[in-house]
Amino acid sequence: MIPRIYIPGDSGALALGAEKVAKAIASELAERGIEAKIVRNGSRGAYFLEPMVEVATANGRVAYGPVKPSDVKSLFDSGFLTGGHHKRWLGAPDKIPFLAKQTRLTFARCGVTDPLSLESYKKYGGLNGLTNALGLTPAAIVAEVTESGLRGRGGAGFPTGIKWKTVLDTSGDRKYIVCNADEGDSGTFADRMIMEGDPFVLIEGMTIAGIATGATKGFVYVRSEYPHAVAVMNKAVEIARKAGVLGASVLGSAYAFDMEIRVGAGAYVCGEETALLDSLEGKRGMVRAKPPLPAHKGLFGKPTVINNVISLASVPVIMDKGAAFYKDFGMGRSRGTIPIQIAGNVKHAGLFEAAFGMTLGEIVDEIGGGTATGRPVKAVQVGGPLGAYFPRALFDTPFDYEAFAAKDGLIGHAGIVVFDDTADMLKQARFAMEFCAIESCGKCTPCRIGSTRGVETIDRIAAGIEPEKNLALVTDLCNTMKFGSLCALGGFTPYPVMSSITHFPDDFKPAPVRVAAE
Ligand SMILES: Cc1cc2nc3c(=O)[nH]c(=O)nc-3n(C[C@H](O)[C@H](O)[C@H](O)COP(=O)(O)O)c2cc1C
Ligand code: SF4
């Protein structure tokens, strides 16, 4: 058997030099006259070890990383094609602590299989969920998804089964499944990783959603900054169509389902589901007032399911192993697993899929290994640019929707961004207001005007102008934005602002006092 070498081709690994490593390995193979197959797999998500090259040996896979092109000659000299020792040797990938500690349900195949091989997908359990779903009535599929406890991974945590039931129960000559792959939150990359590393799982999840709700057409709305994900998804859809997974007769059944990949133009607000629908319809992305819910009147006025990539990609494992299996993981009303994306100033950046319930401290200190700079952690922003900053004092908070809400925070899309003690939280609060001002769709006043006034008022605090009065004004403004905004962009911007003020009051003291305190 010719040796197999796995070199990730996903954006994260490419950004860290995987292409150069792949070229160096290919030319070394040619020079040495060795025949081998290079597979461009997805990443397993341990980005601090990328480019992570794996070889399939008689004793299973052996990983090496982070590999530099300059390592390649010595890797061959060390016999890496048979798992030989080298300074980059990591051993069996599933024994690497960062990977061994995970519970991989949604990401089970990511980094393991060839993303565009349907055979490889099936070999690792792919299409089992769809096959099972085809044997059930739509109502039974919806009941299974509801029973699993799956909640939307895009941010709001709304129960997926209930959303699907609304669409199933709404009549329409046409219904749609829209996958939200806008992934605009800071520090998040789970959607991108799955689209690049295991695209068929998303296709399978969307097809199950279609069968369950009576929708025959799906759209994936991908942000323009993800060209590799768009390319992989387009190829995967083509392959799925040719294989009869998509089309007039899904896997030979009486159900029809097909899908298209659409590219957004890059606006944070177009991740909001109704603005996304406007954008998908070819209009400027503006938030729509609800009701009507998209489930009743969504894309082109038809009943529409809008779900995040990870929500949909989690459905196949639920339909394969059953609701009870999935529900068994997690805590409270947060069931199953969540792909936590650890980013920012952190030693071990990457994606860590685990059952809900780990504390923030475990994630940052034990899994993330603390800051990359080696300085103390000052704050962690959880849930994207609209998420609260958590100080070390709140590190005992378990990763659970309700537990975070109880501490005035949110899980969002499960991205966490770590900051060390050099971070200036006044600047971070100002940034949140500025971000809102730039990204606001402009439809409602608290967000459109409030965010600009917020920047100005924080600037006055920084300049030492009537700090107490201006702090009270920011607090008042945050209340107006929180309760008066139409969508969560204006409504949640107060979270990073108020958490900065509440947990890091010293950073909001007038400049002369701050200098004196330092
Ligand atoms: C300003 C804003 C941006 C959002 N961006 C995203 C996004 O990039 N991806 C996403 O899945 N959901 C995003 N959401 C949440 C969506 O509106 C919606 O709740 C989600 O797509 C529903 O899918 P889910 O139930 O599977 O989470 C955003 C919401 C707001 C208010
Ligand atoms: S809160 Fe902001 S983004 Fe949302 S509808 Fe209002 S103006 Fe638009």
Asked whether the beta carbons of 91 and 74 are under 8 A apart, the reply is no
DSSP code, position 485: -
Structure token digits, residue 176: 């749609």
What letter represents residue 97's amino acid? P
Q: Which atom of ligand 2 is nearest to the CA of 436?
A: 2
Q: Measured on CA atoms in the order 365, 367, 371, 377, is the torsion positive or negative? A: negative
- Atom in ligand 1 nearest the alpha carbon of residue 184: 8
Measured between alpha carbons, how far is 479 from 477 in angstroms, rounded to an integer? 5
In whole angstroms, give the CA distance from residue 119 to residue 242. Answer: 13
Local confidence pLDDT in tens for the 518 residues of the chain: 789 999 999 999 999 999 999 999 999 999 999 999 999 999 999 999 999 999 999 999 999 999 999 999 999 999 999 999 999 999 999 999 999 999 999 999 999 999 999 999 999 999 999 999 999 999 999 999 999 999 999 999 999 999 999 999 999 999 999 999 999 999 999 999 999 999 999 999 999 999 999 999 999 999 999 999 999 999 999 999 999 999 999 999 999 999 999 999 889 999 999 999 999 999 999 999 999 999 999 999 999 999 999 999 999 999 999 999 999 999 999 999 999 999 999 999 999 999 999 999 999 999 999 999 999 999 999 999 999 999 999 999 999 999 999 999 999 999 999 999 999 999 999 999 999 999 999 999 999 999 999 999 999 999 999 999 999 999 999 999 999 999 999 999 999 999 999 999 999 987 655 544 44
Nearest ligand to the CA of 445 is 2
Q: Which ligand is nearest to the CA of 290?
A: 2
CA pair distance 339, 354, nearest whole angstrom:
6
Please indicate whether residue 294, judged by its CB atom, sits closer than 6 Å to ligand 2: no
Distance 272 CA to ligand 1 centre (A): 5
Ligand 1: centre distance to CA 293 (Å): 14
In the block, tokens 């603005």 appear at 275
Predicted pLDDT at 265: 86
Give the distance (Å) from ligand 1 centre to CA of residue 274: 9
Q: What is the largest CA-CA distance in the chain?
A: 75
Return the residue matching tokens 């059953």.
322
Handedness of CA 419, 422, 425, 429 (dihedral sign): negative
Nearest-atom index, ligand 2, CA of 445: 7
285 Cβ closer than 6 Å to some ligand 2 atom: no
Atom of ligand 2 nearest to the CA of 487: 4
Q: 311 in ligand 1 pocket by Cβ < 6 Å?
A: yes
SS3 437: helix
Please tell me if the CB atom of residue 183 comes closer than 6 angstroms to any atom of ligand 1. Answer: yes
Distance 446 CA to ligand 1 centre (A): 20
Residue entry with tokens 């369950």: 212
The b-or-e profile of 407-439 (16+ CB within 10 A means b, else e) is eebbbbbbbbbbbbeebbbbebbbbbbbbbbeb
Report which protein residue has its CA nearest ligand 2's atom 4. 487
Contact assessment for residue 167 and residue 299, using Cβ atoms and an 8 Å cutoff: no
Nearest CA to ligand 1 atom 5: 271
Q: What is the DSSP letter of 289?
A: P
Cis amide prior to 8 (ω within 30 degrees): no
The number of angstroms, rounded, from the C-alpha of 478 to the middle of its chain's C-alpha atoms is: 27
- For position 518, what pLDDT does the model report? 47
Calculate the CA 347 to chain-centre distance.
19
Q: Backbone dihedral region of 46: left (phi > 0), alpha (psi from -120 to 50 degrees) or beta?
A: beta
Asked whether 345 lines ligand 1 (CB < 6 A), one says no
How large is the angle between the packed helices 227-242 and 190-197, nearest 10 degrees?
Answer: 40
**C-alpha span between 429 and 481 (Å, rounded):** 14
Q: How far apart are CA 409 and CA 37, in angstroms?
A: 47
The DSSP result for 348-396, as a single string, is: S-EEEEEETT-BHHIIIIIIS-S-SS-SPEEEEEESGGGSPEEEGGGTT
Radius of gyration of the chain (CA): 24
What are the tokens at 193? 């990783």
**Sheet architecture: strand order including 337-344:** 350-355, 337-344, 415-420, 377-382, 389-391
Q: Are 210 and 257 in contact (CB under 8 A)?
A: yes
Evaluate: CB of 440 within 6 angstroms of ligand 2: yes
Secondary structure letter of residue 506 according to DSSP: G
For residue 437 and ligand 2, the question of a CB distance below 6 A is answered with: no
- Asked whether 438 and 455 are in contact (CB, 8 A), the reply is no
Structure tokens at 487: 């969508």
108 lines ligand 1 (CB under 6 A): no
Site to probe by mutation for ligand 2, drawn from 284, 290, 433, 486 as the one with most ligand atoms within 8 Å of Cβ, is 486
Q: Report pLDDT for 511.
A: 61
- Half-sphere exposure for 197 (CA within 13 Å, toward CB): 29
Q: Judge if the beta carbon of residue 386 lies within 6 A of ligand 2.
A: no
Which pLDDT score, from 0 to 100, does residue 266 have? 83
Q: How far is CA 129 from the centre of its chain?
A: 22
